[in-house]
Amino acid sequence: MITLENNGLTVRFPGVHPQATCRVEFQRTLRLPDDGKDHPLPPGFGRFPLHHVDDFPRVPESWRRHGGVFLPMHPDEALWINFSADYPMAVKIAAGKINALTGESWDEALHPDPQDYCVLPMQPWLDGFCVAPGEVRQFVAMPLGEGYTAEEQITGKGEVGGLQFLFHPLRADAYERWRRPSPRAVAMDDLALDDMEVCFDLCEAEAAPDMGLAPGGRLVQEIYDDPFQPADWEAGVRSRCFVHLANASTYLAITGRNPPPPPREAREYAKQGGAWFVYEDPDAGMLEGAEILGELSSVDQWRRQKRREVADDEPLEVGPVVKLGPGRGAVRDGEF
């Protein structure tokens, strides 16, 4: 069961375990340039507004067939995905039905080798396509039909767009073995649990939504290995959701509202000395990244290949970096 609550998706599996819950939010953020550098993680500037497809009669017919939810994005705008969970979940994430960790086409099985899913709560965020150990290419929204998106570069077609999610909970017996005070767990917000039940499903695409995700600048981010055994996951229990991306004009036409303005420029933020972030778990292994995703052209590379103007080619100099990770919340005992 998936519900839309407070501009986020809450996923519950009460038939598996009372604690089998996670939450997914989509954070507005800085778009990093592809300047040849590995950047620390940019901050979040608040959640994107999220809406039920079924609440608006003017959505494209393809969206209605997919169901799910939608959010507004400007071309060239970036996002990152925030996960909150105390109960382990396996989450498959795709952009235009291209797996964000492996570059493979969408399927609904969990594959451990190569691992094609994130494991919560070990994975607190996902900022982009996994291209190498400890490195992702930022998720950047671009119009379908111009060749930028990962979907178009891999399949040659722009037919799906958006983001796709599939969730599997850990088996209850495996959870009871695993459960312990864990510094890796990401604390969840207090959620108002109600009786609202909205289930989302995936359908085959026949017409294109407006926007897909293309690879952007390089970010330092580890995608962690699954510490569980394949049999620990409830393979027969799942929930899935399609998240559509609406450009500004489409969003206005559908909702009658203007989307949030684009966030500030990364260079402006850096000049003001804003904080950046690195999350590290020294006890966890990380995924190798997908060669096929590493070979994709970023938005800036694509523009250079087409001899189009790139807004800002100069290397970005970031300011203070805040290190996050398990155990970093401990209070240090100093001199008395």
Of 165-174, 198-207, 292-301, the least confident: 198-207
Mean pLDDT of 208-218: 84
Residue 330 placed within a domain = no
Angle at 186 between CA 326 and CA 17, to 5 degrees: 125
**Which pLDDT belongs to residue 183?**
36
Tell me which of 30-34, 50-54, 157-161, 177-181 is least confident.
Answer: 177-181
The pLDDT of residue 205 is 32
Q: How many domains does the chain have?
A: 1
Residue 34 reports pLDDT greater than 60: yes
What's the pLDDT at 182? 42
Sheet strands (E) in 111-259: 118-120, 125-126, 128-132, 135-143, 163-169, 211-220, 239-246
Q: What is the mean pLDDT of the chain?
A: 87
- Give the pLDDT of residue 209: 47
- The helix or strand, by DSSP H or E, that contains position 84, with its residue range, turns out to be strand 78-85
Residue type at position 104: E
pLDDT of residue 300: 86
With a cut of 50, say whether residue 102 has pLDDT above it. Answer: yes
pLDDT of residue 329: 59
Cα 281–chain centre separation:
19
Residue 21 host element (H or E): strand 21-29
Residue bearing the bigger pLDDT, 301 or 212 = 212
DSSP H or E segment with residue 72: strand 69-72
Task: State what percent of residues in the chain have pLDDT above 90.
Answer: 74
* pLDDT for res 315: 78
Find the domain containing 297 and state its range.
2-323
**Angle, alpha carbons 66-67-68 (nearest 5°):** 115
Residues 6+ positions from 82 with CB-CB distance below 8 Å? 24, 25, 26, 27, 44, 124, 125
pLDDT at 25: 97
Residue 83 within any structural domain of the chain: yes
DSSP per position, 233-277: B-TT--EEEEEEEE-HHHHHHHHSSPPPPPPPPHHHHHHTT--EE
243 within some domain: yes
User: Domain for residue 190, yes or no?
Assistant: yes
- How confident is the model at residue 334, as a pLDDT? 62
Q: Over 60: is that where the pLDDT of 103 sits?
A: yes
Domain membership flag for residue 9: yes
Contact call for residues 22 and 83 (beta carbons, < 8 A):
yes
Check pLDDT > 50 for residue 200.
no
What pLDDT does 137 receive? 97
Q: How confident is the model at residue 309 (pLDDT cuts 50, 70, 90)?
A: low
* pLDDT at residue 217 greater than cutoff 50: yes
In percent, the amount of the chain with pLDDT more than 70 equals 86
Q: What is the pLDDT of residues 248-280, one digit of tens each?
A: 999 999 999 999 998 888 989 998 999 999 999
pLDDT of residue 307: 60
Q: What is the pLDDT of residue 208?
A: 43
In a domain, 260, yes or no: yes
pLDDT of 196: 28
pLDDT computed for residue 330 by the predictor = 56
Does the pLDDT at position 333 exceed 80? no
Evaluate whether residue 234 is within a structural domain.
Answer: yes
Tell me whether residue 329 is in a domain.
no
> Is residue 312 predicted with pLDDT exceeding 80?
no
The secondary structure element, H or E, covering residue 173 is helix 172-178
| Mean pLDDT of all residues in 187-213 | 41
Looking at residue 305, what is its pLDDT? 73
Instruction: Identify the band that residue 308 occupies on the pLDDT scale cut at 50, 70 and 90.
Output: low
For residue 73, pLDDT over 90 is answered with: yes
